[in-house]
Amino acid sequence: MATTRPRRATIRDVALEAGVSRGTVSRVLNGEPYVSAEARVAIERAIASVGYVPNTAARNLATQRSRAVGFLVHEPHALFLEDPNIGAILLGANRVLSGSDLQMVSLVIDSERDSRRVERYLSGGFVDGAVIVSARQEDSLLSAFGRLSIPATIVGRPPASVRVPWVGIDNRGAARAITEHLVGTGRRRIGMLAVALDRDSGADRLAGFRDAMGDRFDRHLVVERPLYEYTAGRSAMEELLERDPTVDGVFAASDAVAAGALDALRAAGRRVPDDVGVVGFDDSSWAQRSQPQLTTVHQPARLLGERAAESVLAQLRGEEPSLDGTILETHVVVRGSA
């Protein structure tokens, strides 16, 4: 590749240098018993002297495993960075995987082309398992894992057609609870900024809102946007005010969306919570940085990541995973915005 990259030392070079066989070197490398003290020191010295570094590709090929786990996010790259929720899940997963000395590799799928490249990447025993975040309902990635029979756990509820272990929250119930809180503060005209309806979280939050509103549900007061983004919240709130200037309550599908809504309300001269009550979802860093701070649903994002990673580890140990899914608790956090 490069002009004259020097050939790297192999296990044979080490064996030659130390005056032993490949097998013995391999044993030392893997910390196996049944190696004499002399052989061990000779080999360690030889490793240092020839500058040996094991070749992971060769090891992976021979052992048929990689000691790496993928963290797959099917979102635009920008959102991956902006959404503190995904970040917290990543943190949790990384904590658990690091603890087992597995390398976590993050892969973001942004385009159709990315999707194919990632599939190719995964197909080579590059990862032993994967944590998958924000898969679409019809995600081709999910079937790819089925084909490759790589252990995977999904964060969020997978479509019924796919049999994969998962961890998630009761988005519908939580959305219902936070909406009921909003209703309980005396609001009459309540709208929703609904987002990501192509995913279980988005669809379920809308369903929960509908549950809570009952007869008072008004389709006209639901503004939709594709992604959980600040800017989406801003523009959706503007649209909602246009549709009905008398709204006095808003359920935003995420804290980032709520933050955007807050700014749109401020720009329109509305006071929060005096004129309009606003609630969010996630209890992410957005919630505490907004002014006023957001009343929202706390979801244990970090714990979701940890549980998902643990589930992958369990599968790697050969345990049969439950396909029922694990549902973690959420609760309403009341702050200043409603």
Q: Which residue from 20, 69, 72, 118 is in contact with its own copies, where contact means CB under 8 A?
A: 118
Distance in angstroms (rounded) separating the CA atoms of residues 115 and 136: 12
Please choose, from the candidates 337, 250, 227, the residue with its C-alpha nearest in 3D space to the C-alpha of residue 286: 337
Partner whose footprint covers residue 255, from DNA, its own copies, none (CB < 5 to 8 Å by kind): none
Q: Which stretch binds its own copies (CB under 8 A): 16-24, 103-111, 197-205, 237-245?
A: 103-111
214 binds its own copies (CB under 8 A): no
Of these, 61, 78, 81, 267, which contacts DNA (CB under 7 A)? 61
From DNA, its own copies, none, which one binds at residue 219 (CB under 5 to 8 Å depending on kind)? none
38 binds, options DNA, its own copies, none, Cβ within 5 to 8 A by partner type: DNA
Structure tokens at 150: 């790589």
Stretch of 32-40, 107-115, 173-181, 230-238 contacting DNA, by CB under 7 A: 32-40
293: its two tokens:
């701070």
Q: Is 16 exposed, middle or buried (0-12, 13-18, 19+ CB in 10 A)?
A: middle
Quick one: what does residue 39 bind among its own copies, DNA, none, with the CB cut-off 5 to 8 Å set by partner type? Answer: DNA
268 is a site residue for its own copies (CB under 8 A): no
What is the Cα–Cα distance from 335 to 193, expressed in whole angstroms? Answer: 19
The answer to whether residue 137 forms part of the interface with DNA (CB under 7 A) is no
Closest residue by Cα to residue 42 from 71, 21, 70, 67: 21
Q: Of 51-59, 197-205, 255-263, 275-283, which segment contacts DNA by CB under 7 A?
A: 51-59
Residues 4-23 touching DNA, rule: CB under 7 A, are: 7-8, 10-12, 19-23
Q: Which is nearer to its own copies, 62 or 160 (CB)?
A: 62
d(CA 178, CA 153): 28
Q: Which residues contact 132 (CB under 8 A, 6 or more apart)?
A: 72, 74, 141, 142, 145, 152, 153, 154, 155
What is the residue type of 290? S
> In this structure, how many other beta carbons lie within 10 angstroms of the beta carbon of residue 326?
16
Q: Which stretches of the chain bind DNA, using CB under 7 A?
A: 7-8, 10-12, 19-24, 26-27, 29-30, 33-36, 38-39, 52-55, 58-59, 61-64
